[in-house]
Amino acid sequence: MDLRTPLDAALSTKKEYILALKEMGLRTIEDLLLYFPRAYEDLSQFKKLHEAKEGETVTMKGYLHGIKRVPTKNRKMTLIKATFYDDFGSTCEATWFNQPHLLRTLPMDTPVVVAGKVKYSYGKYTLQSPVVETEKQAQVHTGGLIPVYPQHEIITTKWLREKIHPFMYLTKDIEDILPEDILESEDLMPKGNAIKELHFPTSHKALEDAQKRMAYEELFLVQLNAVKSKKEWKSSRENEDKFSGIKMDVDFVKNFFSTLPFEPTGAQKVAIYEIMQDMEKPFPMIRLLEGDVGSGKTVVAATALLHAVLNGYQAVIMAPTEVLARQHMISMSKFIGEFEAKFPTEKPINIQLLVGSLTPKEKKSVHDGLKNGQVDIAVGTHALVQEAVGFHNLGLAIVDEQHRFGVKQREVLMKHGTPHVLTMTATPIPRTLALVAYGDQDLSVLHEMPPGRQPIETKIVPPEHRTTVYRFVEGKIREGQQVYVICSLVDDSDVLELKSVKKEHERLCEVFPEFKVGLLHGRMKAQEKEGVMAAFKNKEIDILVSTSVIEVGIDVPNATIMLIEDADRFGLSQLHQFRGRVGRGDKKSYCFLYTTSNGQTTFTRLKAMTDFTDGFKLAEIDLQLRGPGEVYGVRQSGIPELQFASLTNGVLVSRVRKAAEHLVENSPTLDKFPRLKGMLVKIRTKLDKA
Ligand code: ADP
Ligand code: MG
């Protein structure tokens, strides 16, 4: 018998159990060994019966006597009783339901260890369905820290404990995939030991060390994948000799800045510098520009686009929706127009929009222009990476508000000569999280907001003040301003969400009969959504009721009020994203957070929204309060599910990152570490499927 032995050969059990295991993805002994407990019950302390409290699960030493079947009114049920004597002279009844086999199998009148829940009623103790082992047996279910496994219909925790235990000796065959010097320098136990300790911990300390070992490996693989992807992207142009980087040009930057209606912030200047430094290299840039809503990413993008074009390359900027693409078209044309007016180029810069709704003829014209080099800059949606699109010499691709511009899309770009790639996101992810979520990219952060922005007044609104707020809103609409209303996810169901947003829409039509109330939700077709957004932008709608699908980055300066229903149901980062939809013009803006919950934690969380305007700060608080899975954008961004590692441990994340970088430097192909290499292939296949 070895790790690869199939479970149907290794276990003596019924077929239905083997099938159930298969459903859980467990086929071999190794799979079973890698099926880890989700928690532990601490039964390491032996109790005396008379010390046990009602409802407590205890482990006791003693012996059982006089087992018998007791008749019950319900004949389908079997009830078994025995008397338990503990080693300290107390006694109680032990009962089991529907386990007739125990009549034959329970060890009587011999030293045993029992573990179970104690009930106390009518002046006496009962031990309910205790697990029993003779003291001589390996204490699988009793003494010590007891594993609690994720269960699956017929596969119970108890069943798993029994089946896994006999294979513990095989853990010695489990190979370490972490290199030895890392195990040594990080003081990590061998993987086989860790797995053994995870199933049947010998002590709290040993369990902790085992978890640490697994967490390290988990993070290491994530980082290794990221570091390796980055390396691969950067070396993807190695065999192209025609590319020699785009020289940094300080004069151009000065000139361009002089045509802007504002002075760029320090953070913007740093980001532009970092980007130009990347573009200078003979290998493609892969950088993420992270900046809160309104931090001014667009002008950074414009600088990079112009820089590429002035050096004879084509450049594209891609947005997730048509509305956003059109918005970019306007801003880019403006920035570039102003520049050209003052610093004319030999041939005017040709900038074109490429989106799905163009006529076939219009599309073809842009396609042709991109292929023959007539078009310098294309602004568009995914239409830019369609099969039909080819480039003359693409030098830079910018991707805006895309939660994850994956390896796959990069492969599409590689067909076009591996341009420099800059992605932009308004999701403020704390740095350590970004290392995991976007670890395959270099990072620039706009930590500073342009000056002179009016803070958005944020208020928590209890139900009794709803009408007051509506009256205030009414006044603002009369002045010509516009309002967003965000409805929360009722639960995970689309259908319910739709129902609630429709109901809210109807209700608001009644509350504000003289205003135009629009509706936006995820079940609408992309084109319908775009239509509604366009109508809102054109002021044909006063109040826009929406689910959380409302676009990040949408710019309607005239919208000054944001109402969020059931605000407590959203994370802080997401609330912050919503709030960023207002406060984009020169008028004072407001954000009202409705909540019916009056719990202290809810209040503390929402209060952070009124206290802080910095998205990074709020994300940090969210991360502490709710964990990484809930930080907005992270779930979509491809962070793998981590079973052991905590992403809040920034120190560890950075240390692991360094180790991964070191390893890839030492063996870029990973040929020196075949097991790691194999593992990486597996991870990538899994990510590709996701
Ligand atoms: P985002 O990062 O959300 O894409 P934008 O690029 O749309 O932000 O910028 C938001 C607004 O701030 C725009 O109106 C832009 O012109 C303006 N802006 C950008 N940078 C500055 C600056 N340094 N000083 C003043 N205003 C700026
Ligand atoms: Mg933007």
Q: What is the CATH number of the domain that holds 569?
A: 3.40.50.300
**94-98, 317-321, 436-440: the lowest-pLDDT one:** 436-440
497-506 average pLDDT score: 80
Q: Which residue owns the Cα nearest ligand 1 atom 27?
A: 450
Does residue 295 have its Cβ closer than 6 Å to ligand 1? Answer: yes
> Which pLDDT value is given to residue 629?
62
Which of 612, 629, 657 delimits the end of a domain? 612
Q: Is the pLDDT of residue 408 over 80?
A: no
Q: Is the pLDDT of residue 606 over 70?
A: yes
> Which pLDDT value is given to residue 301?
98
Q: Is residue 148 part of a domain?
A: no
Q: Is residue 302 part of a domain?
A: yes
> Which pLDDT value is given to residue 405?
61
Does residue 450 have its Cβ closer than 6 Å to ligand 1? Answer: yes
Sheet with 543-546: list strands edge to edge: 457-461, 590-594, 559-564, 482-486, 543-546, 517-520
Q: Is residue 629 part of a domain?
A: no
- Model pLDDT for residues 364-380, shown as the tens digit of each residue: 999 999 999 999 999 99
Q: Is residue 162 part of a domain?
A: yes
Does residue 428 have its Cβ closer than 6 Å to ligand 1? Answer: no
Which residue, chain included where needed, has tokens 């709710």? Answer: 626
Q: Is the pLDDT of residue 563 over 80?
A: yes
Q: Which of 42-56, 238-252, 378-392, 429-443 has the highest mean pLDDT?
A: 378-392
What CA–CA distance (Å, rounded) separates 167 from 169?
A: 5
> Which pLDDT value is given to residue 213?
95
Does residue 571 have its Cβ closer than 6 Å to ligand 1? Answer: no
pTM reported for the whole predicted model:
0.74
> Which pLDDT value is given to residue 173?
94
Q: Is the pLDDT of residue 398 over 80?
A: yes
Q: What's the pLDDT band for 553 if we cut at 50, 70, 90? A: low
Within this chain, do residues 540 and 472 fall inside the same structural domain, yes or no? Answer: yes
> Which pLDDT value is given to residue 640?
63
Within this chain, do residues 287 and 367 fall inside the same structural domain, yes or no? Answer: yes
Q: Which residue owns the Cα nearest ligand 1 atom 26?
A: 450
Q: What's the pLDDT band for 232 if we cut at 50, 70, 90? A: confident
Q: What range does the domain containing 677 cover?
A: 175-234+649-690
47-60 average pLDDT score: 83
Q: What's the pLDDT band for 238 if we cut at 50, 70, 90? A: low
Does residue 314 have its Cβ closer than 6 Å to ligand 1? Answer: no
Within this chain, do residues 416 and 288 fall inside the same structural domain, yes or no? Answer: yes
Q: Which residue owns the Cα nearest ligand 1 atom 19?
A: 296
Q: Is the pLDDT of residue 636 over 80?
A: no
Within this chain, do residues 275 and 200 fall inside the same structural domain, yes or no? Answer: no
Q: How far is CA 432 from the centre of its chain?
A: 13
CB 422 within 8 A of CB 304: yes
Within this chain, do residues 461 and 438 fall inside the same structural domain, yes or no? Answer: no
Q: Is the pLDDT of residue 61 over 70?
A: yes
> Which pLDDT value is given to residue 480?
94
> Which pLDDT value is given to residue 133?
82
Share of the chain above pLDDT 90, in %: 50
Within this chain, do residues 363 and 495 fall inside the same structural domain, yes or no? Answer: no
CB 290 within 8 A of CB 443: yes
Residues with CB under 5 A from ligand 2 (ion): 553
600-621 average pLDDT score: 88
Q: Is the pLDDT of residue 591 over 60?
A: yes
Closest to 487 (Cα-Cα) out of 519, 532, 445, 455: 519
CB 155 within 8 A of CB 20: yes
596-601 average pLDDT score: 81
**19-28, 315-324, 550-559, 656-665: the lowest-pLDDT one:** 550-559
**Residue 116 forms beta bridges with which residues?**
58
**104-113, 242-251, 484-493: the lowest-pLDDT one:** 484-493
Does residue 265 have its Cβ closer than 6 Å to ligand 1? Answer: yes
CA of 264 to the centre of ligand 1 (A): 9
Rg (CA), the chain: 32
Structural tokens at position 255: 């000139």
Q: Is residue 243 part of a domain?
A: no
Structural tokens at position 69: 């079947």
* Helix (H) and strand (E) counts in the chain: 23, 20
Q: Is the pLDDT of residue 153 over 70?
A: yes
Which of 389, 420, 446 delimits the end of a domain? 446
Does residue 296 have its Cβ closer than 6 Å to ligand 1? Answer: yes
187, 469, 484, 548, 634 from 301: Cα distances, Å: 45, 39, 28, 27, 23
> Which pLDDT value is given to residue 404?
56
CB 495 within 8 A of CB 574: no
Q: Is the pLDDT of residue 604 over 90?
A: no
> Which pLDDT value is given to residue 172?
93
Does residue 262 have its Cβ closer than 6 Å to ligand 1? Answer: yes
Q: What's the pLDDT band for 530 if we cut at 50, 70, 90? A: confident
Closest to 44 (Cα-Cα) out of 146, 167, 123, 130: 146
Which of 412, 446, 480 delimits the end of a domain? 446
CATH classification at residue 117: 2.40.50.140
> Which pLDDT value is given to residue 300?
98
Q: Which of 150-164, 330-344, 450-464 has the highest mean pLDDT?
A: 330-344
State the CB neighbour count (10 A cutoff) for residue 225. Answer: 20
Q: Is residue 621 part of a domain?
A: no
> Which pLDDT value is given to residue 498?
62
For the chain, the domain total comes to 5
Residue 30: Cβ-neighbour burial (10 angstroms; 0-12, 13-18, 19+): buried
Within this chain, do residues 399 and 269 fall inside the same structural domain, yes or no? Answer: yes
Within this chain, do residues 201 and 113 fall inside the same structural domain, yes or no? Answer: no
Within this chain, do residues 309 and 439 fall inside the same structural domain, yes or no? Answer: yes
Within this chain, do residues 264 and 318 fall inside the same structural domain, yes or no? Answer: yes
CB 530 within 8 A of CB 537: no
Q: Is the pLDDT of residue 690 over 60?
A: no
Q: Is residue 632 part of a domain?
A: no
Which of 257, 262, 338, 400 to mutate for ligand 1's pocket (most ligand atoms within 8 Å of CB)? Answer: 262
Q: Is the pLDDT of residue 9 over 80?
A: yes
CA of 241 to the centre of ligand 1 (A): 38
> Which pLDDT value is given to residue 622?
82
Q: Which residue owns the Cα nearest ligand 1 atom 13?
A: 296
Q: Is residue 617 part of a domain?
A: no
Within this chain, do residues 480 and 389 fall inside the same structural domain, yes or no? Answer: no
- What's at 193, amino acid-wise? N
> Which pLDDT value is given to residue 38?
84
What CA–CA distance (Å, rounded) separates 580 from 562?
A: 9
> Which pLDDT value is given to residue 437?
76
> Which pLDDT value is given to residue 88?
80
Within this chain, do residues 69 and 211 fall inside the same structural domain, yes or no? Answer: no
468-489 average pLDDT score: 92
**135-139, 573-577, 587-591: the lowest-pLDDT one:** 135-139
| Mean of per-residue pLDDT scores for the chain | 87
Q: Which of 232-236, 357-361, 412-416, 433-437 has the highest mean pLDDT?
A: 357-361
